[in-house]
């Protein structure tokens, strides 16, 4: 039989929003189906597509997609929620009614909003609109894994630089003399960065890669530092010591643009108001200063930094981190001599009990090197002007009531982000007040956070829970109502800026709908607008018209929706990046940095005022052989984890082609550690922690420290035939977060210790 040729085969430029890379792509569509996605080299992020992006057609057509709104008919906690199909009107009316009731009874703050991380889902298309809905509704609470994914990158570094590094100050890989990837493996996690980094190495840029594992570009790096998980701050302080000892720091930058010359009172430990000429003020020593309280001995901030760093000599840091002292010195030398230095840090440093101090120690190091907002350093690239649509003006006292703010006053709760730990506590214990409802777009809260069993109880304790997703999930199965969401290719989306460099930042694209929605699925953004309308918030939502919202957002850019529609590959809006913007003189004074003092705050008064160390210090991870020898006796191995090349976070194990390449959950361990436990490659083992045990297959890795093992989170979903699923909780589980703890969490930002804890590995009998 002859197969008919498709009649309407089309090639359409688009982009893949499945992860943070947001790769430019060209899609082949025929007879209403997505057939293929391949790179679009004309796009600033379009050099390559990963396996997940190429699996887009499989995701769209997946037999397990949610197709209709559904209501649970069995009690919470039942194995089968008894999902029964309902109509959209019924669903939206019930949601609006229940949320309205709860807001009237206990205030809108009793309703928490949730989002899958924009780094790992197409929620990046609309998370700002979700924030607008939350603000317009009057709730200060959004839970979106910020404390695990972006606290360091997006918030902690802001205390030093006034803006995030490496968030707003992005690594200018194209111009870098040296690249520093620290706890970040873009070859796995962000293809567009990996491609740029490879090009930089080809033209001779140096690379320093700091990771317990030799992965990705580590093999091509001048130095791979095999750090013990969770001890990175010790490394940063020791490297800073090497810089100071050798005079390898940008003295002009440090004097002019940081508070290094400002004086700290030795009696109170607080800063004096700046005085004197920064060009000639001493960096070292101490001075007596006349104050209202009489004469006080004071020391320049720089002197205190030099002292804390001297206490962390390379030899001492070597003991703590496992990195050779000579390598620490060599790496500091290399980074100084091959400036400009472009830095990116990520997950390895985010999911730690000491994330904040680690990030601040790295910021201190970066400030001394001085490659801030200079070509080839960390640069705030120009962006296309747009109207912000998060609606911060809609919530009069923004974060005052955010869950977790009282406990951690400097955390991302200030911006309305609730940690998983604090959300579970509010739902279970009513502290600081009871979280009664959750409006959740995707986030697989139960699987994404440590202590999944507690997460499950917290979700079950909610009075009302609505969950919007493409698929069922352990989290969604705790909901009262499930809403079916379109995949990225069944809906349009507006993206202004693709982040990684100026060309990418200048790129504006309207991703067009390629195929019809499956079943009754709707896009997240249309659900947000529809819900807003039912809640009586249509005025704040452009009369419920998504396109009117996009037009408003685009207005300052000078680009219209019509122009974007005519060019599905996107439009480059001319923008010009200026460097050293802090040195620009505005109204007779230099612009400086966006900190309270306009200086790079090496010493943080805000930290001091909140009772945190104002200068970065090393804190041993909360669960480690050194901090918990009691536990280490039973759980002698240091456990960290990583994401998977083949899947996003807890997703995609149901995609048969991806699962064929990565069939089972894996734990990497050193051959000696394996041999000592009678474990051979590919054996099924149990990863045991004080919270219980989960299964994984052993993968031997001779490059690891014999005491360190590395697991993977996110395993639950079944794939095609022979591709097993696992319970999210209970016996037989492969969910690493079931046995990882949310505590002790970072005292400043609240991140959980998912990347440094203790375990034992035991061979599972056949």
Residues lying near Mo ion in the complex (CB under 5 A): 117, 119, 149
Q: Cβ of residue 120: shortest distance to Mo ion, in angstroms?
A: 5
Helix axes 325-337 and 232-246, enclosed angle (nearest 10): 60
When CB distances are held under 5 to 8 angstroms depending on the partner's kind, the choice from ligand SF4, Mo ion, ligand MGD, none that residue 754 binds is ligand MGD
Strand ranges, E, within 588-642: 589-590, 637-642
Q: Cβ of residue 486: shortest distance to ligand MGD, in angstroms?
A: 8
Contacts of 386 by beta carbon, 8 Å cutoff, 6+ apart: 496, 553, 554, 555, 556, 557
| CB nearer ligand MGD, residue 110 or residue 210 | 210
Distance CA 670, CA 710 (A): 10
With CB atoms as reference, the residue minimizing the distance to ligand SF4 is 53
Q: Cβ of residue 714: shortest distance to Mo ion, in angstroms?
A: 11
Tokens 């590094």 correspond to what residue?
A: 165
Distance CA 343, CA 470 (A): 35
End-to-end CA, the chain = 49
Distance CA 211, CA 710 (A): 11
Q: Cβ of residue 715: shortest distance to Mo ion, in angstroms?
A: 17
Query: Does 208 sit near ligand MGD (CB under 6 A)?
Result: no
With CB atoms as reference, the residue minimizing the distance to Mo ion is 149
When CB distances are held under 5 to 8 angstroms depending on the partner's kind, the choice from ligand SF4, ligand MGD, Mo ion, none that residue 191 binds is ligand SF4
When CB distances are held under 5 to 8 angstroms depending on the partner's kind, the choice from Mo ion, ligand SF4, ligand MGD, none that residue 553 binds is none
Listed ranges 94-102, 366-374, 440-448, 532-540: which one lies at the site for ligand MGD (CB under 6 A):
440-448
Site for ligand SF4 in 50-69 (CB under 6 A): 50, 52-53
Tokens 């809006």 correspond to what residue?
A: 573
Contact 147, 156 (CB under 8 A): no
Coil/strand/helix, residue 689 = strand
How many CB atoms neighbour CB 430 within 10 A? Answer: 12
Q: Cβ of residue 346: shortest distance to ligand SF4, in angstroms?
A: 14
CA distances 86 to 67, 71, 480, Å, are: 11, 7, 12
Query: Does 187 sit near ligand SF4 (CB under 6 A)?
Result: no
Listed ranges 18-26, 414-422, 468-476, 709-717: which one lies at the site for ligand SF4 (CB under 6 A):
18-26
Distance CA 337, CA 330 (A): 10
With CB atoms as reference, the residue minimizing the distance to ligand MGD is 348
Contact 178, 335 (CB under 8 A): yes
Query: Does 742 sit near ligand MGD (CB under 6 A)?
Result: no
| CB nearer ligand SF4, residue 119 or residue 143 | 119
Q: Site for ligand SF4 (CB under 6 A): which residue of 13, 14, 22, 674?
A: 22
Q: Cβ of residue 366: shortest distance to ligand MGD, in angstroms?
A: 15
Q: Site for ligand MGD (CB under 6 A): which residue of 113, 161, 253, 441?
A: 441
Q: What percent helix, strand, coil does the chain show, rounded to 5?
A: 35, 20, 45
Query: Does 19 sit near ligand SF4 (CB under 6 A)?
Result: yes
| CB nearer ligand MGD, residue 356 or residue 640 | 640
Q: Cβ of residue 328: shortest distance to ligand MGD, in angstroms?
A: 14
Angle at alpha carbon of residue 527, lines to 521 and 528, rounded to 5°? 155
Query: Does 18 sit near ligand SF4 (CB under 6 A)?
Result: yes
Q: Cβ of residue 23: shortest distance to ligand MGD, in angstroms?
A: 11
Contacts of 150 by beta carbon, 8 Å cutoff, 6+ apart: 117, 119, 167, 350, 412
Distance CA 669, CA 683 (A): 12
Query: Does 695 sit near ligand MGD (CB under 6 A)?
Result: no
Q: Cβ of residue 421: shortest distance to Mo ion, in angstroms?
A: 16
**For ligand SF4, what does the binding mask look like between residues 491 and 510, x meaning CB under 6 A?**
--------------------
Contact 365, 240 (CB under 8 A): yes
Q: Phi first, then psi: what are they for 699, rounded to 5°?
A: -125, 125
Listed ranges 95-103, 239-247, 325-333, 466-474: which one lies at the site for ligand MGD (CB under 6 A):
466-474
When CB distances are held under 5 to 8 angstroms depending on the partner's kind, the choice from Mo ion, ligand MGD, ligand SF4, none that residue 408 binds is none
| CB nearer ligand SF4, residue 187 or residue 345 | 187
Query: Does 120 sit near ligand MGD (CB under 6 A)?
Result: yes
Q: Cβ of residue 508: shortest distance to ligand SF4, in angstroms?
A: 17
Distance CA 403, CA 405 (A): 6
| CB nearer ligand SF4, residue 52 or residue 434 | 52
Q: Cβ of residue 21: shortest distance to ligand SF4, in angstroms?
A: 4
Query: Does 341 sit near ligand SF4 (CB under 6 A)?
Result: no
Q: Cβ of residue 735: shortest distance to ligand SF4, in angstroms?
A: 22
Query: Does 21 sit near ligand SF4 (CB under 6 A)?
Result: yes
Query: Does 649 sit near ligand MGD (CB under 6 A)?
Result: yes
Q: Cβ of residue 235: shortest distance to ligand MGD, in angstroms?
A: 8
| CB nearer ligand MGD, residue 264 or residue 494 | 494
Contacts of 499 by beta carbon, 8 Å cutoff, 6+ apart: 22, 170, 381, 505
Q: Site for ligand MGD (CB under 6 A): which residue of 116, 405, 418, 619?
A: 116
DSSP string computed for 23-86: -EEEEEEETTEEEEEEE-TTSTT-S---HHHHTHHHHHT-TT---S-EE--S-TT-SS---EE-
Distance CA 289, CA 361 (A): 29
Distance CA 656, CA 487 (A): 17
When CB distances are held under 5 to 8 angstroms depending on the partner's kind, the choice from ligand MGD, ligand SF4, Mo ion, none that residue 448 binds is ligand MGD
The side-by-side arrangement of strands in the sheet containing 263-265 is 263-265, 294-300, 287-291
Coil/strand/helix, residue 348 = helix
Query: Does 470 sit near ligand MGD (CB under 6 A)?
Result: yes
The two tokens of residue 36 are 């293929």
Contacts of 574 by beta carbon, 8 Å cutoff, 6+ apart: 506
Site for ligand SF4 in 24-53 (CB under 6 A): 49-50, 52-53
When CB distances are held under 5 to 8 angstroms depending on the partner's kind, the choice from Mo ion, ligand SF4, ligand MGD, none that residue 226 binds is none
Q: Please report the sign of the dihedral spanned by the C-alpha atoms of residue 665, residue 670, residue 671, residue 673.
A: negative
Applying CB under 6 A, the site for ligand MGD has a residue count of 65
When CB distances are held under 5 to 8 angstroms depending on the partner's kind, the choice from ligand MGD, ligand SF4, Mo ion, none that residue 659 binds is none
Please choose, from the candidates 77, 71, 21, the residue with its C-alpha nearest in 3D space to the C-alpha of residue 478: 77
Listed ranges 28-36, 284-292, 552-560, 634-642: which one lies at the site for ligand MGD (CB under 6 A):
634-642
Distance CA 39, CA 41 (A): 6
Tokens 């995030």 correspond to what residue?
A: 164
Query: Does 470 sit near ligand SF4 (CB under 6 A)?
Result: no
Query: Does 191 sit near ligand SF4 (CB under 6 A)?
Result: yes
The two tokens of residue 716 are 């639950």
Contact 603, 264 (CB under 8 A): yes
| CB nearer ligand SF4, residue 49 or residue 438 | 49
Q: Cβ of residue 150: shortest distance to Mo ion, in angstroms?
A: 7
Distance CA 578, CA 575 (A): 10
Q: Please report the sign of the dihedral spanned by the C-alpha atoms of residue 318, residue 321, residue 322, residue 323.
A: negative
Query: Does 19 sit near ligand MGD (CB under 6 A)?
Result: yes
Contacts of 97 by beta carbon, 8 Å cutoff, 6+ apart: none
* Residue ranges that bind ligand MGD, judged by CB under 6 A: 19-20, 116-117, 119-123, 145, 148-149, 182-185, 188-190, 210-213, 215, 227, 229-230, 232, 346-349, 351, 441-444, 447-448, 468-471, 473, 485, 524, 640-645, 647-651, 710, 713, 736-737, 740, 754-756
* Residue ranges that bind ligand SF4, judged by CB under 6 A: 16, 18-19, 21-23, 49-50, 52-53, 191
């Amino acid at each position: 039989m002859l197969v008919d040729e498709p009649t309407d085969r089309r090639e359409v430029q688009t982009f893949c929003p499945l992860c943070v890379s947001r790769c430019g792509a060209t899609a082949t569509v025929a007879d209403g189906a997505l057939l293929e996605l391949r790179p679009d080299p004309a796009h600033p992020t379009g050099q390559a597509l990963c396996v997940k992006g190429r699996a887009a057609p499989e995701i769209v057509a997946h037999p397990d997609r949610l197709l209709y709104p559904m209501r649970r008919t069995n009690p919470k906690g039942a194995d089968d929620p008894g999902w029964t199909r309902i109509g959209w009107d019924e669903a939206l009316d019930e949601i609006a009614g229940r949320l309205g009731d709860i807001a009237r009874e206990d205030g809108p703050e009793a309703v928490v909003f949730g989002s899958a991380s924009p780094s790992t889902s197409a929620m990046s298309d609309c998370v700002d609109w979700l924030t607008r809905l939350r603000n317009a509704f009057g709730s200060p609470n959004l839970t979106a894994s910020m404390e695990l994914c972006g606290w360091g990158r997006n918030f902690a570094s802001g205390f030093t630089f006034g803006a995030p590094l490496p968030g707003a100050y992005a690594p200018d890989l194209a111009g870098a003399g040296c690249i520093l990837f620290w706890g970040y493996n873009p070859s796995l996690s962000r293809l567009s960065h990996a491609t740029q980094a490879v090009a930089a190495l080809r033209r001779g840029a140096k690379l320093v890669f700091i990771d317990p594992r030799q992965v990705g570009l580590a093999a091509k790096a001048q130095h791979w530092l095999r750090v013990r998980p969770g001890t990175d701050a010790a490394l940063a302080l020791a490297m800073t010591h090497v810089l100071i000892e050798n005079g390898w720091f940008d003295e002009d930058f440090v004097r002019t643009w940081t508070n290094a010359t400002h004086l700290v009172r030795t009696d109170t430990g607080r800063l004096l108001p700046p005085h004197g000429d920064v060009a000639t003020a001493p960096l070292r020593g101490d001075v007596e200063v006349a104050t209202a309280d009489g004469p006080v001995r004071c020391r320049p901030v720089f002197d205190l930094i030099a002292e804390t760093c001297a206490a962390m000599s390379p030899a001492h840091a070597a003991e703590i981190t496992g990195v050779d002292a000579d390598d620490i010195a060599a790496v500091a030398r290399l980074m100084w001599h091959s400036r400009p230095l472009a830095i990116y840090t990520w997950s390895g440093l985010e999911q730690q009990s000491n994330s904040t101090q680690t990030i601040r120690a790295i910021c201190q190091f970066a400030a001394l090197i001085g490659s801030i907002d200079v070509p080839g350093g960390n640069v705030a690239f120009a962006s296309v002007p747009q109207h912000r649509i998060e609606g911060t003006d809609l919530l009069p006292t923004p974060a005052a009531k955010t869950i977790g703010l009282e406990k951690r006053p400097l955390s991302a709760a200030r911006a309305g982000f609730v940690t998983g730990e604090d959300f579970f506590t509010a739902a279970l214990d009513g502290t600081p007040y009871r979280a009664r409802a959750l409006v959740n777009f995707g986030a697989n809260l139960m699987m994404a956070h440590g202590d999944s069993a507690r997460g499950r109880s917290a979700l079950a304790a909610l009075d009302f829970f609505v969950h919007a997703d493409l698929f069922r999930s352990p989290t969604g199965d705790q909901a009262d109502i499930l809403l079916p969401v379109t995949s990225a290719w069944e809906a349009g989306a507006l993206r202004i800026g693709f982040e990684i460099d100026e060309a990418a930042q200048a790129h504006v694209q309207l991703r067009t709908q390629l195929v019809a929605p499956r079943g009754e699925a709707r896009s997240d953004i249309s659900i947000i607008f529809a819900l807003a309308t039912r809640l009586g918030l249509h005025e704040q939502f452009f009369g419920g018209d998504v396109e009117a919202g996009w037009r408003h957002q685009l207005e300052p850019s000078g680009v219209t929706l019509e122009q974007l529609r005519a060019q599905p590959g996107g439009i480059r809006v001319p923008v010009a990046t200026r460097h050293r913007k802090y040195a620009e003189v505005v109204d007779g004074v230099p612009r400086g940095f966006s900190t309270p003092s306009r200086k790079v705050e090496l010493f943080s008064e805000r930290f001091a005022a909140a009772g945190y160390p104002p200068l970065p210090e090393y804190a041993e991870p909360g669960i480690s052989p050194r901090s918990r020898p009691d536990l280490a006796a039973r759980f002698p191995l240091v456990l960290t984890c990583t994401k998977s090349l083949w899947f996003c976070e807890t997703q995609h194990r149901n995609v048969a082609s991806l699962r064929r390449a990565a069939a089972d959950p894996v734990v990497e361990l050193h051959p000696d550690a394996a041999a000592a436990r009678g474990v051979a490659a590919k054996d099924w083992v149990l990863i045991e922690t004080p919270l219980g045990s989960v299964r994984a297959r052993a993968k031997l890795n001779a490059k690891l420290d014999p005491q360190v093992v590395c697991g993977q989170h996110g395993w639950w979903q079944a794939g095609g035939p022979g591709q097993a699923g696992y319970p999210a909780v209970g016996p037989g589980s492969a969910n690493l977060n079931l046995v990882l703890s949310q505590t002790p969490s970072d005292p400043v930002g609240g991140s959980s210790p998912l990347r440094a804890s203790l375990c034992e590995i035991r061979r599972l009998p056949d």
